[in-house]
Structure 1
Amino acid sequence: MDDEQVARGTGDEVAVVRRFNRSYTQRVGALEDSFLGTGMPLGTARLLFEIGTEPGTTRDLRARLGLDSGYLSRLLRRLETDGLVAVVPDPDDRRRRRVDLTAAGRRAWADLERRSVDRARDLVAPLTARQRARLAAALAEADLLVRAATVALERVDPTSDLARTAVAAYVAELDERFPGGFDPGPAGTASDPDAAGLAGPSGAFVVATSDGEAVACGGVRTLSSGAGGGVGEIKRMWVHPGWRGAGLGSRLLRHLEGVSRDLGHREVRLDTNGTLAEAVAMYERAGYRRIPRYNDNPYAEHFFAKRLG
């Protein structure tokens, strides 16, 4: 298998995904002009469902559904014309527009939900209980892997709202998992002293997003510089618990190593707590070697380093 096949998937893997796409879109009614008999095409019905499930601003909807602003505007105009949604200025920020269902929209949403449940129930009805369990497990795994494959890794300002949201989740998990809790100090707040080190030009902070939500994060900062290359450190690496097991942690780690290399580092270091056994195992699989303590982090128990090619 050559490098391109590894990066893009083998022909067999691609064929399986394409066959599933054809089969599934046909059987769930995605090809019909009137999705599930609602009188709306799939795109419009999907947007109605999203608004009814989690109302928000047009920006929220674009991020969650991956739609460009022009297409989203056309879909919203149809829903407005049909009296199903109301698009008004957001009271929290008049520059943004908020989208909510009208009373008629809530009735249409409930009808769409009922039709969707009925279609799914009819689809699995011919299967035995064991087959339904296998299908549910397979689809859950497929959903996780497809979402992991489409996660976006983006450098952001470490003081941005998105970065603070990710760091807050990271801090909350450490506080829950560490036997004595975790005191982050001002980490993730406007007065975070470490944020400057994770900003350019000597550092970077990366957030992984799916449907507009932060699902992983990590930063790189420069520990030392030199003519032969500097030494970097990976900090605040976190993956949402619901995303573990899909390879996102390893992907993020490789990405951060690349960021560190781009910053001119010949070596990258990191530390972790023994409670985070899965993180220790991941670092060892990725070729990190154990080294003596190199910082005064009171929560760190294991220290690693890796030469960057």
Structure 2
Amino acid sequence: MVDQEIAQVRRFNRTVSQRIGALEGSYLALGRPLGEARLIFELGLADGSDLRDLRGRLGLDSGYLSRLVRSLEAQGLVEVRPAPEDKRVRRIGLTDAGRAAWRQYDERSDQLASSLLEPLTVSQRSRLLAAMAEIERLVRAANIEIGVEPADSADSRECLEAYYAEIDRRFEGGFALDGGNPFDPGDAIPPSGWFVLARLQGEAVGCGALKRLDVRTGEIKRVWVSPKVRGLGLAERIMGRLECVARNAGFTTLKLDTNRVLTEAHALYRKLGYRETERYNDNPYAHFWFEKAV
């Protein structure tokens, strides 16, 4: 990044925060700062939430969230209770007064949006809305975090199960776990292997694995991206993270295989510099084999 790029982002942030009223102590002139207003609106959209899930969705520090909740409780707008299914989990929801406040914020948010669009020509509105959609898409991409995690965690298993279900639908003849393409979570325990998980606002949305074949060779497996975040370049980022892990582990070559129906995967591998090579395993579901020097 260059200084001009950083300066542009900061100018954009200043312009937007001022225009939407984020600097005011009473957001939308309803007597509460933006943090409290945002929490009320999120609770109204979700019809209540576990506090832990809420913190993950909004990316809030636990201490700050606690202060917001206490303030809204004191105003009679929210109530916190143990979850019926697990008393250790705390759920938060809007009271009747909170739902009334939510309706006010919903109405005034529409008015604010209209005030942004009304001064513009039809052409300018179209340009602004298209730019907003693109910014939203790219900011979502920037909010995705990728890290090495255990392959047998609940989130990892959920991603792997989604991966298996998808290839079962797409492969000719389906897919069976015991059909000759094994992957055990134990294969992803360093130094035998690694597993990476991608998260967006606390939710697992993608994964990938790296398995050691020998001292200098690793194999990439189980790269999957949730349909809800496809088009954000996440598969390429997961591949890049796995390649970084491979280099740090001392690997000089990476291999992978793929099925003939996964044409989007073929295009990604070639884009990233993988070249087609001879068969290196007996995976019955593979029709193409690739490798790359790292």
The alpha-carbon deviation at position 247 of structure 1 amounts to 2.7
The alpha-carbon deviation at position 275 of structure 1 amounts to 2.4
The alpha-carbon deviation at position 73 of structure 1 amounts to 0.4
* Alignment partner of 2:58 out of 61, 65, 79: 65
> Does residue 92 in structure 1 map to residue 85 in structure 2?
yes
> Residue 146 of structure 1 corresponds to which residue in structure 2?
139
* Alignment partner of 1:290 out of 272, 276, 288: 276
> Residue 219 of structure 1 corresponds to which residue in structure 2?
209
TM-score by length of 2: 0.91
The alpha-carbon deviation at position 59 of structure 1 amounts to 1.2
Cα distance between partner residues in 2 of 1:137 and 1:83: 39
> Residue 12 of structure 1 corresponds to which residue in structure 2?
4
Q: Quick one: which amino acid aligns to residue 56 of structure 1? A: S
8 Å contact from structure 1 (residues 288, 306) kept in 2: yes
Q: Deviations over 1:253-297 (max 9, x none)?
A: 111011122333221111122322222122112111111122232
Q: Deviations over 1:178-202 (max 9, x none)?
A: 454444469xxxxx96221122331
Cα distance between partner residues in 1 of 2:51 and 2:129: 32
> Residue 5 of structure 1 corresponds to which residue in structure 2?
none
> Residue 22 of structure 1 corresponds to which residue in structure 2?
14
> Residue 119 of structure 2 corresponds to which residue in structure 1?
126
> Does residue 136 in structure 1 map to residue 118 in structure 2?
no
> Residue 69 of structure 2 corresponds to which residue in structure 1?
76
The alpha-carbon deviation at position 112 of structure 1 amounts to 1.1
Cα distance between partner residues in 1 of 2:93 and 2:29: 23
Cα distance between partner residues in 2 of 1:298 and 1:141: 41
Q: Quick one: which amino acid aligns to residue 53 of structure 2? A: D
**What's the % identity of the aligned pairs?**
51
Return the structure number with greater relative CO, CA threshold 8 A, min gap 6. 2
Cα distance between partner residues in 1 of 2:109 and 2:88: 35
Which range moves more in the overlay, 215-224 or 120-129? 120-129
For structure 2, the residue ranges without an aligned partner over 5 or more in a row are: none
- RMSD, aligned CA: 2.0
8 Å contact from structure 1 (residues 144, 243) kept in 2: no
> Does residue 237 in structure 1 map to residue 223 in structure 2?
yes
In the comparison of the two structures, how many residue pairs are matched? 291
Residues 167, 110 of structure 1: CA spacing in aligned structure 2 closer, same or farther, 3 A cutoff?
A: farther
> Residue 266 of structure 1 corresponds to which residue in structure 2?
252
Residues 235, 38 of structure 1: CA spacing in aligned structure 2 closer, same or farther, 3 A cutoff?
A: same
Cα distance between partner residues in 1 of 2:38 and 2:276: 50
Residues 185, 44 of structure 1: CA spacing in aligned structure 2 closer, same or farther, 3 A cutoff?
A: farther
Q: Deviations over 1:163-217 (max 9, x none)?
A: 122223323333344454444469xxxxx96221122331111111111112221
Secondary structure at 2:261's aligned position in 1? coil
Cα distance between partner residues in 1 of 2:122 and 2:244: 47
